[in-house]
Each structure stands twice: as C-alpha cells, then as structure tokens.
Amino acid sequence: MKFDKNVIKQSIERYCKVKYGVKIGDATNVQILNALGLAILEEIIPEWEETEQLYDKQKRAYYISAEFLMGRALGNNLINLGIYSEIKEVLKELNLDLNDVENAEDDAALGNGGLGRLAACFMESGATTNLPLQGYGIRYSNGIFKQGIRPDGAQVEEVEKWRSDPFGLRKENLEVEVEFKDFNVRAIPYDTPIIAYGSRNINTLRLWQSEPKVEFDFMLFNSQAYDESVRESNRAKDISRVLYPNDTNEQGKLLRLKQQYFLVSASLQDMIRKHKEIHGDLNTLPEWAAIQLNDTHPTLAIPEYIRLMVDHEGMGFSEALANAKKMFAYTNHTILKEALEKWSMDLIKKLIPRIAKIIEKINWEFIEELKEKGYSTDQIDHYSIIQYNTVHMANLAIAVGYAVNGVAQLHSDLLKHVELNSWYKLFPEKFQNKTNGITPRRWLNYSNIRLTAYISELLGNEDWVRDLSKLKALEKYVNDDAVLKKIMDIKYKNKESLVNYIKEVEGITLDPESIFDIQVKRLHEYKRQLLNAFYIIDLYYRLKENPNMDIPKITFIFGGKAFPGYARAKAIIKYIGQISNLINNDETINGKIKVLYVQNYRVTYAEKLMPAADVSKQISTAGKEASGTGNMKFMLNGAVTFGTYDGANVEIVQAAGEENNFIFGLRVEDIEKLSGKYNSREYYEKYPDIKRAVDSLIDGTVSDGGSGEFQDLWNSLLVGSSWEAPDTYYLLADFKAFKQAEEKVFVAYKNKKHWAQMCLINIANAGQFSSDRTILEYAKDIWNIKPATLSL
C-alpha cells in the first residue's frame, strides 16, 4: 500500500478532534488507536469496495462460525499492508509510540479456543490467497468471560469488555430482521476488513449485533415501570451479549438456540439479498454460493434456508431441499459425543416452530430415501435426524450437506472408520480430510519479529511468508553452528521478553535459563492438563527426596479457560494453582521447578508464549483431539512437540521426524484393545509413584478448601460414576510413558547443539501447516471457487 505520511497525520488529528474533541497531545492511547484505525480505513475502503465488485462476478464461499478469535487487529493489519515501520515513524513524529497504541487494543472477544482461532486464520488466508471468501459470525459484546486466578488457584469469571474496535464498520443500511415465535430483533452488520498480505485484496468478516426493534416502551416508562420498559430491549441485546452462555437450565439452552438461529437467519437473508441484487434468479444460488458450516453450531442454516425459500420466495419444498444439498458443507471438529450438538424438539418448537416443522419434513424425506434404498427400520432409526424427540445436528448436516470433512488425517480416518462409519458407508463420496493450518503472518511475522527477520536473512527474501513450504530450505543449515547458535539466541531473547511480560501482568519472576514447558489450551479432561500436573507433583516429590537430582531447571506454564458450568475442569485449574503455590514457595528445591497458571489466556498472550516455548505440550488422549492448531504455532516458532500420537501431532512428527520430538503413550489402536478391559486401579495399586501423585488430591498435600472438588477428581480416576467408567481418558495408563518421555527431554536439552538442531528441523518442516494450504484445498475440493486478484 502506498500512502502519504502527511495525509495519515492529518487524518489522525482530524478524527481525534471530531470523535473525541481532543488534540493529539491530549489523546489517550485508545483514542489514538481508534483515530488511526479510521485513518487507515479511509485509505483502504476503495480497495475493499473494488474487491467486493470483483468477487461479485464469480462464485463465493461463505464461512459461518459461532467463533472468530481474531486477536488484536492493528499490528497484523499494518504488517499485511506493508506499512508497519512507516506508521511507527509517523507516530514517532507525533511523539507517540506504536507499541503503546497496539497495547491499547483489546482482543476482540469473539471466540474461545481452536475453533475460533482456526476461523480467524482461514479468513486471513482466504484474503492472502485472493479467494472470494466471506465470514459470518456474531459480534458478542462481552465474549465468553475474562478469567482471573485467585490466590488459592481457583478460576474466577468476570465480564469481558472489549472497548476498542478500530476497524469495524457499522452498516445499518444492510440490517435484517430475525423472527422468533414471540418477538423479532434487528440484526445489524458490522464489517471488519480482512487484509491480504502481498496483495491489494481486502475480504470481509461480517458480524451481526442483535438490537431491539424498539429501544424501550415509552408508555411503560411513563407509567414508572422502568424495568419493564426495557425488558424487550434487554432480551434482544442478550442474544449477542455473551459467547456460549451457561446452558445448565432451560433458559440458558433457549438463549444458545436463539444465538444460533440469529446467526444463520441474518447471514442467509444477507446472502439471498445480495444474490437477488446481482443475479436475480434464486434457483441459481447454488451456482454462486458455497456455505461452510464450521461445526454443528450453524446447522440451523439448512432448515432456515428452506424456510426463506419456501415462505418468502415461493419456491417448492423439494426444489429448496435439492438446492440446499448443493450448497451446504460441514466441518466436524470433534468425535466427543457431548460436543455433537443435539436440540430438544420441544425447545425448537417453543422458539422457532416453523423451523421445527421443516426439520420434520427434511427427516421424513430422508427416511423415504433410505426406505427406497432398502434400509431396515432399525438401520433407519440410527440415521434419523430426529431421535426420541431430539434433533441430532450432525445427522442433519451430513444428511443434507454435500461434503463432510475432518480436520486432521487421523481425525478424518476415525470419522470414516469408527465414529461416523455408518454415515461413511451411506455417503462415502461426501467424506474428506482437510488438515488444519495457521497463518504465518500472525504466528511468525507479527508475533516473532526476531525469528522472522533471521529466516528472511537466511533465505535471502520474504517470499516464504506467502509460501511456507520454502522454509524447507532451512534444513541445509542443520549442521551450521553459527546458525544454530543464532536460533537459540533468538529463543532466549523471546524468553526474556516473556519473562518481562509475565512479571508485569502476573507479578511473578521466571528464569529464562530454565526449560519453558508450555501447555496452553481450553480446559477439558481429554486434553489432560491433570496428567501434566500429576507428573509435576511426582517430580517435586522426587526432588524433595533427592535435592541433587541432575535435571535442568524447568518452568511449567499452563493457560486456558474452563467453561463456567464445567466443574471438573475448574477443579483441575484449582489443583494446578495449589501445586504451583506448594512448589514455588518451597526453597529446598533450589528453584529447579516453577509452575505458573497464566490468567486470561487469549491470542495476545499466545503471541508472547509461542515464540518463547522450548517444549509444546500436546498430550490429549489418543483419538480425542481432532487436530489442534496450537501444536502448529509452537512448531513454527521452534518448539519441540511433547505429545501423544493424536490429531495433527501425527502429521507434525511425520513431517519433522519422531526423533526430533517426544511422542509417548497409548495410540488409538492400543485404546481400542483396552476398551472394556481397562482397570485404572491396577496402575494405582501397582505403582507407588502413581498412587502418591493421585493421592495428593486427597491426602492433604494440597487443599480444595473443603469444597470436595479434589475428591471428585480422585473419584473420576478410580471410582467412576453411573455415566462414565473410571479414568475415561487413560491418565494412569499413560503416566509411566509420560515420565519416561520427560526424562528424554532432560537428556536432550543438555546437548545444546542437538536441541538447536531439533528446533531448526521443526521450523523447516512447518510449511505444510500453513492455513494458506488448507484454505486452497477447501476452495478446490469443496467450494469450487477460484482466486480473483485485484491488479496491482
């Protein structure tokens, strides 16, 4: 992008005056951030509009997702525009610091975990590869929650407010109305520019905000019924207030259902309006639009599309259903049964009764198809979209959608041959694999400037940023001592930067000389943060017994949020906090171990953790993690993977070699053999170190404050319950292998040259995990769309 420095300066000054009534010298960093955002928008809007006009001439893909975990926008946008250093200079001339302005931006609170971060990477890669791809999501005003960690280690949830949105454009002229049984709401679109790297293309992420048709009832207000006068307003705003509201009761479930319907109804109305304006004939919509359902959350888009076609556009049901079968594709992100959404028909009828009728009709048509194919009643019952008055959303997505994909090769194979095997036999042509990816612009260019500069120096150009496979050329330096030393020097400087950041935000001092062993991700039992914690307490016990044990210093860093209603996950966080207090305050171990649970893990924190990590902990129960993308970010930044043979870990070690990573534990086939035979008590009773670690939950080593949370964790491992067997995720079965793998880490880390070689080989082989590669595969194999590039 070319721009005039003086124009940018004048724009910042103007927006400070007209938006805030202040001069630049008196403006806060948040005000400067928003003024700068508007100044940049002013420059890029012509190209944004030109991109839209270009895409109108060909088929588009629409990516509907409940989450878009974008992270801060300013720095990434400046890098993609190629003007980061220039804007830094402009601000310096105005006596401002770009880093301070960047830090004034909050993370957009629009997602929680890998699902949302993947969607964000796809949006950026779609723009950079010049694909006609548009995202649709919800503009949550408060996100999921802001996480705090109490002194006793427990998670506390606070409202998450993001004050700044420097690039979001409100477009009231494109608002639509979403109809529920008992009230309607306005869906107001906010457009966010998704700026390509190395191209003029600017794609769009459209986020919907729910607002009332009437802000408040004047008659009620005038009658002094003040709370009642804004009741309808609050009901409308609640829809886009919080990501994944607690749904432990009916009201919570209804709110989640409202959110999902609000998202898909607004998005489909928008697509249909656009198609009618450009092409007219709605029968041709499948020729111009592919709609990707990111997990089961947006699956109501299928019956909503049919409702809009039949009730509003006069199309016949059969024709609408036939068109839906050409347009919708479904990405499965999990094999966990509790995550494959199911909705009570009673709730659907209560909220959106017409959609309930359409789902029943779709199901009837599908059952008739199966009867014609000769399927028995028992077989049909298994496939039915509605079972026991419950709608199985994955069944709906697979039955109607034309493509179903997993997100790593192992995950896709498990879907085809185990979890969705009956569906695979019915529709083998629908099933595909699309291994996840990450954008190198965010996860190397922006977050690891030191390593980015050195890679460009070694390769002689920056072409690798758009073609990550070119990193393979780094392998020629695997025996170059100077290069290896420089790689480790960069890692050490990144560790120092993280140490300073953690000191500032957590008030804790870490040692950059220690191994940084990091496990950051959403809290879930299958991700096995508890297994990691058991290893740490065992290592602590062994150090107490033998203070001279020859191990490198090691810092274990955890991060991630547990859903407010997920009691056991919250108990695991508290347990980690308790052992952190125990270990960090014990001077007898000479600082050899330190444990930290970082608060409010998010994209901004990840951008500091990934470049500093030595060891990437990816230890889910084999077969349970669909893919992971954190593992890819760590790999790209030169960390070795310590993990199970699960998700994309499989492809990571295939690319970089098991000898350059640390793979341990049961594999999928081992777990299949253990099914129905596994007895966790055998491990507990046979191995004293396992018993001692597990018993730390209940023997007074640490305390849950009398809540019974730790007893429940102990019971989950050794007693089980009426609905699950003991140790469902095989922590005790994998404990010994975990311990042996950590010993290998300690040995490897002592050989500095060999460790540096492992890091370099991981970086060099991270190319296949670019989300550019993934999104181009979606475009070719699922969406049938082609790149369209603005002329330079």
Whether the pLDDT of residue 673 is over 90: the answer is yes
Active-site option among 51, 128, 621, 629: 629
Structure token pair of residue 301: 């888009």
Ranges of each domain in the chain:
496-765
Give mean pLDDT, residues 672-680. 93
For residue 390, CA distances in Å to 329, 350, 358 come to 22, 14, 14
Give mean pLDDT, residues 426-442. 97
> According to the model, what pLDDT value does residue 731 have?
98
Cα–Cα distance between 141 and 235 in angstroms, integer?
14
Write down how long the chain is: 792
Name beta bridge partners: 64: 136, 293
Whether the pLDDT of residue 144 is over 90: the answer is no
Residue keyed to tokens 């609905």: 723
> According to the model, what pLDDT value does residue 226 have?
66
Active-site option among 206, 275, 441, 633: 633
> According to the model, what pLDDT value does residue 321 have?
98
Who has greater pLDDT, 14 or 247?
A: 14
The distance of Cα 284 from the centroid of its chain, to the nearest Å, equals 34
Burial class (CB in 10 A: 0-12, 13-18, 19+), 227: exposed
User: What's the half-sphere exposure (Cβ side, CA atoms, 13 Å) at 569?
Assistant: 16
> According to the model, what pLDDT value does residue 246 have?
80
Q: DSSP characters for 120-148?
A: HHHHHHHHHTT--EEEEEE--SS-S-EEE
- The band of 317, judged by pLDDT with boundaries at 50, 70 and 90, is very high
Sheet order of strands, 515-520 included: 593-598, 554-559, 515-520, 615-618, 640-643, 662-663
- The band of 649, judged by pLDDT with boundaries at 50, 70 and 90, is very high
pTM of the model: 0.96
* High-pLDDT (> 90) share of the chain, %: 91
Of the candidates 70, 173, 172, the residue with the CA atom closest to the CA atom of residue 124: 70
Q: Are 643 and 618 in contact (CB under 8 A)?
A: yes
The predicted-structure confidence for 485-507, as pLDDT tens digits, reads as follows 999 999 999 999 999 999 999 99
Dihedral sign, Cα of residue 98, residue 103, residue 105, residue 108: positive
- The band of 224, judged by pLDDT with boundaries at 50, 70 and 90, is confident
Q: Are 207 and 108 in contact (CB under 8 A)?
A: no
Active-site option among 60, 307, 527, 574: 527
> According to the model, what pLDDT value does residue 305 have?
98
Q: For this structure, is 357 an active site residue?
A: no
Torsion-angle region of 334 (φ positive above 0: left; ψ -120 to 50: alpha; else: beta): beta
The distance of Cα 193 from the centroid of its chain, to the nearest Å, equals 19
Backbone angles phi, psi at 72, to 5 degrees: -65, 145
Q: For this structure, is 754 an active site residue?
A: no
- The band of 33, judged by pLDDT with boundaries at 50, 70 and 90, is very high
Cα–Cα distance between 679 and 83 in angstroms, integer?
60
Whether the pLDDT of residue 24 is over 70: the answer is yes
Whether the pLDDT of residue 547 is over 70: the answer is yes
Of the candidates 537, 542, 553, 535, the residue with the CA atom closest to the CA atom of residue 590: 553
Q: Which stretch of 224-238, 316-330, 335-349, 736-750 has the lowest confidence by average pLDDT?
A: 224-238
Torsion-angle region of 92 (φ positive above 0: left; ψ -120 to 50: alpha; else: beta): alpha
User: What's the half-sphere exposure (Cβ side, CA atoms, 13 Å) at 76?
Assistant: 28
Cα–Cα distance between 373 and 549 in angstroms, integer?
68
Which residues, at least 6 apart from 225, have a Cβ–Cβ distance to it below 8 Å? none
Give mean pLDDT, residues 234-242. 93
The predicted-structure confidence for 295-314, as pLDDT tens digits, reads as follows 999 999 999 999 999 999 99
Maximum Cα interatomic distance, the chain, rounded to a whole number of Å: 82
Element of type H or E holding 734: helix 731-750
Cα–Cα distance between 767 and 771 in angstroms, integer?
10
Q: Are 332 and 404 in contact (CB under 8 A)?
A: yes
Q: For this structure, is 522 an active site residue?
A: yes
Active-site option among 411, 416, 491, 521: 521
Of the candidates 636, 629, 628, the residue with the CA atom closest to the CA atom of residue 655: 636
Which residues, at least 6 apart from 629, have a Cβ–Cβ distance to it below 8 Å? 114, 117, 118, 121, 436, 437, 438, 648
Q: Are 148 and 158 in contact (CB under 8 A)?
A: yes
Structure token pair of residue 365: 């048509």
Name beta bridge partners: 594: 555
> According to the model, what pLDDT value does residue 231 have?
83
Dihedral sign, Cα of residue 76, residue 78, residue 81, residue 82: negative
Burial class (CB in 10 A: 0-12, 13-18, 19+), 54: middle
The predicted-structure confidence for 384-404, as pLDDT tens digits, reads as follows 999 999 999 999 999 999 999
Domain 496-765: assigned CATH number: 3.40.50.2000
Give mean pLDDT, residues 125-133. 98
Active-site option among 333, 392, 486, 773: 333
Q: For this structure, is 629 an active site residue?
A: yes
3-state DSSP assignment of residue 241: coil
Residue 7, Cβ neighbours under 10 Å: how many? 12
Whether the pLDDT of residue 162 is over 90: the answer is no
Q: Are 62 and 134 in contact (CB under 8 A)?
A: yes
